[in-house]
């Protein structure tokens, strides 16, 4: 078995969808395992990969952990100690903690996002020396590179990467919802407002990719005394920039807390 995946929740399913649709691994090369047998069964039926038991982990070349950080100690108790290379997507759980709990020097830490389902995830990667020497980091680059872009990031910046990039999908969704609500407040039908907000974010991303700095796009759209600069002034008056920066900071700090073992509200699969 090339890869055993522990955890078939939202993130695990997103990774499965991306990897299998892009042919990185075939279903028969994988095995699925979860603390929730019903959830695992549904994932197996959807993706065509077999359900495995805990004893099968001994035959895996790699073990991918896709559970919530709060479940790590429980999962590590029965998933650790195997000769496989370990790849973890647990937010806030350091390579040091992974090595200690899993009893392995071959550990890769990864932080992808739900954008993996459409091949547009940004994934941070870092690895222990043992994992690099064994080629585990190269394998992880190939695995996550099939579902987006990968970045080798110093571990000290992992929580910041998570707070900005991985969590940023939710910030963007909140902005899109607020934008649509503004259109509805000013008279647009809800379906049209939602569609316009969605398409606006897609086109904005494409335009931003063509420019070296986001401010250039803002300046191009803002004409003197026009409607857009009036809207920008309203955003500035409301502390929009500071609120976004605060969101990244809060998410980063929460990553630090999870790394120290502080409790979370959910302890299931990611």
CATH of the domain at 23: 3.40.50.720
Name the helix (H) or strand (E) containing 168. helix 168-185
Q: What is the mean pLDDT of residues 6-14?
A: 90
The last residue of one of the domains, among 135, 161, 187, is 161
Among 29-43, 171-185, 255-269, which stretch is predicted with the lowest mean pLDDT? 255-269
Q: What is the mean pLDDT of residues 149-172?
A: 95
Q: What is the mean pLDDT of residues 22-30?
A: 91
How high is the pLDDT of residue 270? Answer: 54
- Residues 17 and 125 both lie in one domain: yes
Classify residue 269: in a domain, yes or no.
no
Which residues line the annotated binding site?
A: 6-11, 34
**CB–CB of 111/124 below 8 Å?**
yes
Among 14-23, 92-101, 122-131, 242-251, which stretch is predicted with the lowest mean pLDDT? 14-23
Backbone φ and ψ for 91, nearest 5 degrees, come out as -65, 130
How high is the pLDDT of residue 94? Answer: 93
| CATH for 242 | 1.10.3730.10
264 has pLDDT over 70:
no
How high is the pLDDT of residue 36? Answer: 87
Classify residue 189: in a domain, yes or no.
yes
Mean pLDDT of the residues in the chain: 93
Query: Distance between CA 37 and CA 216 in Å, rounded?
Result: 51
Which residues line the annotated binding site for NADP(+)?
A: 6-11, 34
Q: What is the mean pLDDT of residues 154-179?
A: 95
Name the helix (H) or strand (E) containing 87. strand 85-88
- 148-152/30-33 β-pairing: unpaired
- Residues 88 and 177 both lie in one domain: no
- Residues 140 and 216 both lie in one domain: no
Q: CA dihedral in degrees (34, 40, 43, 44; nearest 10)? A: 110
Backbone φ and ψ for 63, nearest 5 degrees, come out as -125, 120
In 3-state terms, what secondary structure has residue 160? Answer: helix
How high is the pLDDT of residue 22? Answer: 84
Q: Which domain holds residue 144?
A: 3-161
How high is the pLDDT of residue 266? Answer: 43
Query: Distance between CA 79 and CA 73 in Å, rounded?
Result: 10
Taken in order 87, 93, 96, 97, the sign of the CA dihedral is negative
Span 205-222, pLDDT tens digits:
999 999 999 999 999 999
Q: What is the mean pLDDT of residues 43-67?
A: 95
Q: CA dihedral in degrees (41, 21, 60, 140; nearest 10)? A: -130
pTM, entire model: 0.88
169 has pLDDT over 80:
yes
């Amino acid at each position: 078995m090339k890869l055993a995946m522990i955890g078939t929740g939202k993130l695990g399913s997103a990774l499965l969808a991306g990897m299998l649709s892009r042919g990185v691994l075939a279903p028969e090369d994988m095995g699925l395992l979860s603390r929730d047998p019903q959830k695992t069964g549904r994932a197996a039926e959807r993706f065509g990969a077999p359900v495995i038991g805990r004893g099968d982990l001994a035959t895996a070349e790699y073990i991918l952990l896709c559970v919530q950080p709060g479940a790590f100690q429980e999962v590590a108790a029965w998933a650790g100690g195997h000769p496989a290379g370990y790849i973890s997507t647990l937010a806030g759980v350091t390579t040091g903690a992974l090595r200690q709990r899993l009893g392995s020097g071959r550990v890769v830490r990864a932080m992808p996002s739900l954008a993996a389902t459409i091949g547009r995830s940004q994934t941070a990667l870092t690895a222990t020396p043992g994992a690099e020497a064994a080629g585990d980091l190269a394998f992880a680059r190939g695995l996550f590179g099939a579902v987006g872009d990968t970045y080798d990031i110093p571990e000290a910046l992992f929580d910041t990467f998570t707070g900005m990039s991985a969590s940023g999908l939710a910030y963007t969704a909140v902005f899109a919802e607020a934008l649509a609500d503004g259109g509805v407040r000013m008279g647009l039908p809800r379906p049209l407002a939602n569609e316009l907000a969605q398409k606006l974010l897609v086109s904005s991303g494409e335009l931003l990719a063509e420019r070296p700095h986001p401010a250039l796009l803002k300046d191009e759209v803002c004409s003197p005394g026009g409607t857009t600069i009036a809207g920008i002034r309203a955003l500035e008056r409301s502390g929009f920039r500071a609120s976004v920066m605060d969101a990244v900071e809060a998410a980063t700090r929460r990553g630090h807390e999870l790394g120290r073992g502080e409790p979370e509200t959910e302890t299931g699969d990611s």
